[in-house]
Structure 1
Amino acid sequence: MQVRRCAMVLVEPRESVDFDLAELALGETGVRERLGWLALAAHRDEEIPLDASEVAALGELSPGTWRSFDELTRRHPREVLDALLAKGLLIAREPADAAMRRFARDDEVVRAVHWRGLSAVTHRHTRWRDVDSEAVERLFSEASPQTFLERLGPAPPAVPERVEAARRAPLPRPESSALDALLDRRVTCRNYDPAPLPHAAFSAVLYRAFGARMVSDYAPGVQLLKKGVPSAGGLHAVEAYLLVQRVEGVAPGLYHYHPAEHALEPLRELDAEAAASLARRFVAAQAYYAAAPLQVALVARFERNFWKYRNHAKAYRAVILDAGHLSQAMYLAATEMNLGAFITAAINEVEVEQAFGLEPMAEGPLAVCGFGARAQERVTVEFDPAHKVWP
């Protein structure tokens, strides 16, 4: 059997603290500190405990060159190598069972996409699954009677001041324009009308936020899209995947938006109950966002960006910025039509991946946004200090 180390893995020394009543009864503090090693691999969701011998072996195994397993046993104990195989950190060229085949397949996906190691591990291990943010907030408030400031301490200032006020050079404010009025009305919406969103408004916001204005044959075999927002390398590697609940003329379900054709690609129909349940899970149970008539998952097609920026320290950051550009365009397009909009990074990425059939390390959700008509009455608080939306 030939093996090699997985493509990307970080090893973290971590301390955990627990409480031992038996030690407390003996007159000790009862606090126990434990030190251990954890492997964070780009192809595994789990944090994997390691012992010192496994850490040492990992540091001497090549991620690129296949080696004979028997040959490696001359330098490392067989039980250590067997443990690394079972944990998916040592990859077999010809896997012997289903678990080893899954490890090999997932590791190959990471290799094929040309990730930077630290970025890959960061992306894999910051994804949420089954998180209920409302339940977390409720437990947090029940656990302590302290106010927000008492729990967290003084807030950093809203604006850092680098010089004394007298040294600032005032700048003239521009004359008010239509753009200023639009920016003033841009407010995150947490109150949505339960009525279906008109199809014309739905189509208009999608086009202005995510649609391609032109398709350019930039070079032989290389097409670039011209959109209303910038993108790293002009690659526009962030896709719009839709969960539709209430849009006139569009059945509830899952869709991919085709930016060049300005068209919906139907992926799966859902009944109203299933769509509502999925919407709630996507946004980690933030009920006010789950009530929007549609959600747009901003999904990075990493292979599109990393095709050019291979193993690049800035590539992952650039893709995340692309999602921010798109969300602001959606906000402005929605606001112009007197619609509300939102974006949140507090999402259950794993549920989004599973719903749309995405390969996590090739196509990864970065955020979920959405838009729709505002409710007639404000029930949930919104940050509108200038009262441009709510009187």
Structure 2
Amino acid sequence: MSSVERDAASVVRHYHERSKHRLEAYAAGPETLDWDAQPAPFRRFEGAPVVSLPLLSELPADSPIARALAAPFDSLGEARPPIAPSLASLGALLQSSLGITAWKSIGPDRWAVRANPSSGNLHPVEAYVLVRGVAGLADGLYHYEPERHALELRARGAPPPPGREGPRVDLALTTVMWREAWKYGERAFRYCQLDVGHAMAALRYAAALFGWRLAEQAHVGSATLATALGLDRAADFAAGRRADTEREEPEVLLSLSWEGEDAPLADPEELARFARVASWHGTASLIDARPMYRWPVVTEIAEATRRPEAEARAPASASATSDATGPRRSSGAPRRRAGDVILERRSAQRFDAGHVLDRDLFFELLDAALPRRAAPWDVLAQPPRVELVLLVHRVSALDAGVYWLNRRSASSEALVARFEERFRPSRAPGAPPHLDLVELMRVDPRQLARVARTVHCHQDIAATSCFAVGMLADVASAVSEAPSAYRDLYREAGVLGQALYLEAESRDLRGTGIGCFFDDPFHELLGLEGHACQSLYHFTVGKPKIDPRVETAPPYAPRPTRLPGALDE
């Protein structure tokens, strides 16, 4: 590791400790919030040509896209004939992963729900599409605008050649970190990375619907990605009161493929060349005209964890070190349509505290968290590093207590020795042979509920769920290899969260991601000391209690008939 990398690793360690919630004090955040002055949840590029994308509701019921949406959700891991790339299929991909799925309202308050969840529903993630050779779209770079379900042409020109005949589509994700920092202060960077992971998984699930593959281009560095997306074009982004509130951070480049193999690797030099010769359009709309606080540590950690350019090589699937086998569904639960599961996913606000989860369903949910050479795990370029510790409240034929699902990740070995020293681990009764579920300790249900509530920032939802999950990783080892791995850890946790969301939804349950937890008290519960194994993200699953006061409206109003691909005025 170079001296620069050592300095960056030190920044990461400092940030992680500084951004922890503690029983005696939360991580630094704003002292007050003005909800009427919330950062803009949608960004537009004023002056950029706009292409409206076909809505799912506008597609014929017998179209290949509609039939794909009607397939059972648990069949997404199976091979299926790919749908041809087109304006309609690209629109279906984006609506099923990053689009609005409903408008909710209660009294005077109204908000959008999207296919990709977000901490605080603040949605820092922005998406871009690099297109070459797709009918109905001029070659170039587009910004996806979910409020209108439209593409804004940011740069016209031919992106790098695909490396083989036929069209090429690359997707890029960025974050407007101020959207999270506005509410969460210094912890915002963590939440942005979790949201990127959720978005990556949402895109991968949607791609699987249409028989497509999606692979991370991890060799493309942050600086190159910023150039290719025009994020370093300062004149295109209004400064407002402060430049940092408007800045977009380059996160990840993903390549689509529909030919049974991953797309050819992107060429960083060609991406930079595209940005130099393209014709650019539009200026970014303002995110926050009157920011009240400053969080310079968020900028510092972002700079320290940016990815350098790497040697282009075939991506190593996240499932490279673990390829789970075993039944994907055996409980006999009804098979729900994939499109319904994806578009109806919601975060539970309250759980039924008396609901007991069937043990076979519980095992199926955990099975879905094991890395496989399939969606969503193969979207990640890095092998798995995240482990799951579960606080099991109410699962039939299982004692309440603390359990560990060994995903056989790069962090497993660090946990084995620690858990064997502190507990008397034993295999969970009834677990399928391929599911390495370990009982660490039994706990009186009332005491476990109190512990879960306290650890999760005193939130009832962690105690009334059927089970809660803590996601752990050996942060020290990962960051010592590369500071940018800090982002990868949270993204893997976000992918896990999205898998749990959809798997729960497919079984008429609900999940809720929890970013607010007391880090070190959770570590102490597990006997973890030092700075190696750290908690990244928590999650709960249970039977939801629906608030009848909340009204639901369709995500998009009907639009007049128009020519596909025509530019809007």
- TM-score, scaled relative to structure 1: 0.56
Deviation string 1:360-391 (CA, Å, 9 cap, x unpaired) is 4211111110212223x538x8796659xxxx
CA offset at residue 231 of structure 1?
7.0
- 1: CA distance between counterparts of 2:25 and 2:16? 20
Match of 2:191 in 1: none
Match of 2:540 in 1: 370
Match of 1:182 among 322, 329, 341: 341
Match of 1:352 among 522, 536, 555: 522
Match of 2:366 in 1: 206
Closer, same or farther: CA 318–288 of 1 in aligned 2, 3 Å: same
Match of 2:351 in 1: 192
**What are the equivalent positions in structure 2 for 1:31-110 lying under 5 Å apart?**
none
Match of 1:52 in 2: none
Range with greater deviation from structure 2 (228-237 or 294-303):
228-237
1:161 aligns with 2:44: yes
CA offset at residue 196 of structure 1?
1.2
Native 8 Å contact 2:512 2:539 kept in 1 = yes
Match of 1:119 among 4, 8, 12: 12
Match of 2:399 in 1: 251
Secondary structure of 2:52's counterpart equals: coil
1:266 aligns with 2:149: no
CA offset at residue 282 of structure 1?
2.0
Closer, same or farther: CA 344–229 of 1 in aligned 2, 3 Å: same
Match of 2:388 among 240, 246, 265: 240
1:295 maps to amino acid: A
Native 8 Å contact 1:188 1:382 kept in 2 = no
Secondary structure of 1:116's counterpart equals: helix
- 1: CA distance between counterparts of 2:494 and 2:503? 14
Match of 1:280 in 2: 453
Match of 1:324 in 2: 494
Closer, same or farther: CA 325–212 of 1 in aligned 2, 3 Å: closer
Match of 2:313 in 1: none
Match of 1:98 in 2: none
CA offset at residue 228 of structure 1?
4.0
Match of 2:377 among 219, 223, 229: 229
- 2: CA distance between counterparts of 1:235 and 1:355? 27
1:358 maps to amino acid: L
Deviation string 1:300-330 (CA, Å, 9 cap, x unpaired) is 2225634xx61x2311111111111110011
Closer, same or farther: CA 329–129 of 1 in aligned 2, 3 Å: same
- 1: CA distance between counterparts of 2:25 and 2:398? 29
- 2: CA distance between counterparts of 1:236 and 1:383? 40
CA offset at residue 131 of structure 1?
6.2
Deviation string 1:163-214 (CA, Å, 9 cap, x unpaired) is 248x211222354424332122100012212221111111111111x12447
CA offset at residue 230 of structure 1?
4.3
1:299 aligns with 2:472: yes
Unpaired runs of 5+ residues, structure 1, are 1-62, 64-110, 215-225
Unpaired runs of 5+ residues, structure 2, are 60-65, 71-337, 409-433, 556-569
- 1: CA distance between counterparts of 2:36 and 2:439? 49
Closer, same or farther: CA 132–361 of 1 in aligned 2, 3 Å: closer
- 2: CA distance between counterparts of 1:370 and 1:285? 14
Deviation string 1:96-135 (CA, Å, 9 cap, x unpaired) is xxxxxxxxxxxxxxx9xx98111111111211122699xx
Match of 1:172 in 2: 54
CA offset at residue 245 of structure 1?
0.9
- 1: CA distance between counterparts of 2:466 and 2:35? 35
**What are the equivalent positions in structure 2 for 1:124-139 lying under 5 Å apart?**
124-130=17-23
1:262 maps to amino acid: L
Closer, same or farther: CA 367–185 of 1 in aligned 2, 3 Å: same
CA offset at residue 227 of structure 1?
7.5
Match of 2:133 in 1: none
Native 8 Å contact 2:348 2:544 kept in 1 = yes
Native 8 Å contact 1:256 1:264 kept in 2 = yes
RMSD: 3.3
Secondary structure of 1:239's counterpart equals: strand
Native 8 Å contact 1:302 1:362 kept in 2 = yes
CA offset at residue 248 of structure 1?
0.7
Secondary structure of 2:37's counterpart equals: coil
CA offset at residue 154 of structure 1?
1.8
- 1: CA distance between counterparts of 2:550 and 2:471? 23
Native 8 Å contact 2:351 2:465 kept in 1 = yes
- 1: CA distance between counterparts of 2:462 and 2:35? 26
- 2: CA distance between counterparts of 1:128 and 1:259? 26
Native 8 Å contact 1:239 1:298 kept in 2 = yes
CA offset at residue 354 of structure 1?
0.8
2:342 maps to amino acid: L
- Of the two, which has the highest radius of gyration? 1
Native 8 Å contact 2:393 2:463 kept in 1 = no
Deviation string 1:211-265 (CA, Å, 9 cap, x unpaired) is 2447xxxxxxxxxxx7842475432111110011111111111111023631321
Native 8 Å contact 2:365 2:500 kept in 1 = yes
- 2: CA distance between counterparts of 1:263 and 1:169? 49
Closer, same or farther: CA 227–170 of 1 in aligned 2, 3 Å: closer
Secondary structure of 1:343's counterpart equals: strand
Native 8 Å contact 1:235 1:304 kept in 2 = no
Closer, same or farther: CA 300–374 of 1 in aligned 2, 3 Å: same
Range with greater deviation from structure 2 (251-260 or 229-238):
229-238
- TM-score, scaled relative to structure 2: 0.39
Deviation string 1:342-364 (CA, Å, 9 cap, x unpaired) is 11111111121011122342111
Closer, same or farther: CA 237–302 of 1 in aligned 2, 3 Å: same
Aligned length: 246
Native 8 Å contact 1:131 1:348 kept in 2 = no
- 1: CA distance between counterparts of 2:52 and 2:536? 38
